[in-house]
């Protein structure tokens, strides 16, 4: 809406007990080219009734009225989730009081002896309101987008884990079973053959099969380790032991108890967090020692994986491992938790998963002990 145009329509709720001042406000709007429909009221009851009807673009209000003030009217208006701009039009209010009223949420104020400014003030208030509405709409759309992204992430993670479990079962039942059967047959051939060449080939093939069996078992364990059925502590202990064997780093695991009762989804999120953190350490940290702390004290499951490696700047764009950590953050959100990453160049790094737990009186807290 622009002042000076000829077809600008406006519906105004005017709280004013002076007919002369009502007429002056209408005249100021008409001179500015506004086609204004003004609903004039002079009591708080009438104001409230008109307010409930809705449909007003702007509210104009005198400050002092018989038995009440504009502050009482603003109290009614402010209860609405999306109130129209509320503008004071008064000659009996000082500038200090007017500024305080604006700080309280009113849009603006105009002195009665400066009514020529009224159209401009209304235009500015409407522009501010439209900007706020657009910002609120953008915030709602962003929140909806984030919610959709979180739901999609949860769906994808669930699908991935289900597929991993299915592949692990196939490796165990089909490939592992077939390789084991072939291994037995080769062993039989090697034991019963009278030809030295055949026995040598059988032994070489047996060694290759044993290597293939070991590789299939490692793949199966990484896809879905059976130790998760024994609990999170046992699974992370296996993960730590395997990591130490592969990398030569010293890994220290400390848990508050040998077994922490968790649902499957939370247990899997914690395990994958530890797994990804260890993978990043092996790739980038150049560390000598890794520490894993696992606690469920004070109603929060906390998993911390820290190292004494070269560290990094968490704010640096495109740093190694950042995509995997972002995936872990999304995983944490799916179980109502959050992920914190702290590090400084040359001072190691720490990845902390925190997830609030439901109270469980049957699981008393024991003192932490090294595992």
CATH number at 361 reads 3.30.565.10
Q: Per the domain annotation, does 28 fall within a domain? A: yes
Instruction: Compute CA 278 distance to the chain's CA centroid, rounded to the nearest angstrom.
Output: 24
Quote the domain boundaries for residue 190.
159-223
Residue 318: the pLDDT is 57
Report strand pairing: 349-356 vs 338-343: antiparallel
- pLDDT recorded at residue 301: 96
pLDDT score for 214:
82
What is the rounded average pLDDT of the residues 196-212? 86
d(CA 189, CA 184): 9
pLDDT, tens only, 210-269: 888 888 877 877 777 777 888 999 999 999 999 999 999 999 999 998 999 898 889 989
Total domains present in the chain: 3
Could you tell me if 116 and 209 lie in one domain?
Answer: no
Give a yes or no: residue 147 inside a domain. no
Tell me how far apart the alpha carbons of residues 64 and 261 are, in angstroms, rounded to a whole number.
66
Task: Work out the average pLDDT over 105-109.
Answer: 87
> Is there a domain that residue 153 lies in?
no
Same domain, 125 and 251: no
Shared domain check, 116 and 58 = yes
Instruction: Share the mean pLDDT of the chain.
Output: 85
- pLDDT score, position 16: 92
Could you tell me if residue 2 is inside a domain? no
What percent of the chain is modeled with pLDDT above 70?
92
Model confidence at 190: pLDDT above 80? yes
pLDDT tens for 142-183 read 988 888 887 787 777 778 777 877 787 778 777 878 888 888
Confidence of residue 360 (pLDDT cuts 50, 70, 90): low
Q: Examine residue 281 and state whether it is found in any structural domain, yes or no.
A: yes
Same domain, 54 and 85: yes
34: helix, strand or coil: strand
Instruction: Report angle CA 159, 160, 163 to the nearest 5 degrees.
Output: 85
- Is residue 312 located within the same domain as residue 193? no
CATH code for the domain in which residue 92 is found: 3.40.50.2300
351 with 234, same domain: the answer is yes
SS3 label, residue 193: coil
Q: Indicate whether 150 belongs to any domain.
A: no
Please give the average per-residue pLDDT across 82-88, as a whole number: 90
- Model confidence at 273, pLDDT cuts 50, 70, 90, reads very high
pLDDT band at 290 (very low <50, low <70, confident <90, very high): very high
Same domain, 26 and 96: yes
Residue range 41-65: mean pLDDT, rounded: 91
Q: Is the pLDDT of residue 44 over 90?
A: yes
Residues 233 and 341 in one domain: yes
Residues 102 and 205 placed together within one structural domain of the fold = no
Are 327 and 300 in a shared domain?
Answer: yes
340 and 212 inside one domain: no
Which is nearest to 333 in space by CA: 358, 301, 355, 352?
Answer: 355
The reported pLDDT for the residue numbered 322 is 65
Domain presence at residue 151? no
Read off the pTM: 0.55
Does 74 have pLDDT greater than 80? yes
Report the pLDDT value the prediction gives residue 5, as an integer from 0 to 100: 42
Say what the pLDDT of residue 131 is.
Answer: 92
Same domain, 314 and 265: yes
């Amino acid at each position: 809406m622009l002042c000076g145009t000829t077809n600008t329509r406006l519906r105004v709720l005017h709280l004013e007990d002076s007919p002369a001042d009502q007429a002056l406000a209408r005249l100021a709007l008409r001179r500015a080219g506004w086609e204004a429909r003004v609903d004039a009221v002079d009591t708080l009851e009438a104001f409230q009734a008109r307010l409930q009807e809705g449909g007003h673009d702007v509210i104009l209000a005198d400050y002092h009225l018989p038995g009440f003030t504009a502050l009482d009217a603003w109290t009614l208006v402010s209860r609405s989730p999306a109130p129209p701009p509320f503008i004071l039009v008064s000659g009996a209010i000082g500038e200090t009081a007017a500024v305080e009223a604006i700080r309280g949420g009113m849009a603006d104020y105009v002195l009665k002896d400066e009514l020529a400014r009224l159209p401009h003030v209304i235009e500015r208030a409407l522009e501010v309101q439209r900007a706020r509405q657009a910002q609120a709409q953008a915030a709602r759309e962003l929140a909806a987008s984030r919610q959709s992204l979180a739901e999609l992430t949860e769906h994808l993670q669930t699908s991935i884990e289900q597929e991993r479990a299915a592949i692990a079962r196939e490796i165990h039942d089909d490939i592992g079973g077939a390789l084991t059967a072939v291994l037995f047959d080769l062993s039989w051939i090697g034991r019963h053959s009278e030809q030295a060449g055949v026995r040598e080939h059988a032994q070489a093939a047996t060694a290759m099969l044993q290597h293939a069996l070991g590789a299939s078992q490692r793949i199966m364990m990484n896809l879905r380790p059976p130790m998760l059925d024994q609990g999170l502590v046992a699974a992370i202990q296996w993960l730590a032991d395997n990591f130490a064997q592969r990398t030569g780093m010293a890994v220290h695991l400390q848990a508050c108890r040998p077994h922490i009762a968790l649902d499957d989804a939370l247990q899997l999120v914690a395990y994958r967090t530890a797994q990804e953190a260890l993978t990043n350490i092996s790739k980038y940290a150049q560390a000598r020692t890794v520490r894993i702390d696992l606690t469920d004290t004070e109603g929060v499951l906390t998993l911390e994986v820290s190292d004494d490696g070269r560290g990094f700047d968490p704010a640096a764009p495109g740093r190694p491992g950042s995509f995997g950590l972002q995936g872990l953050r999304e995983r944490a959100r799916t179980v109502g938790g959050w992920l914190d990453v702290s590090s400084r160049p040359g001072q190691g790094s720490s990845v902390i998963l925190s997830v609030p737990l439901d109270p469980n009186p049957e699981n008393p807290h024991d003192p932490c002990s090294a595992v």
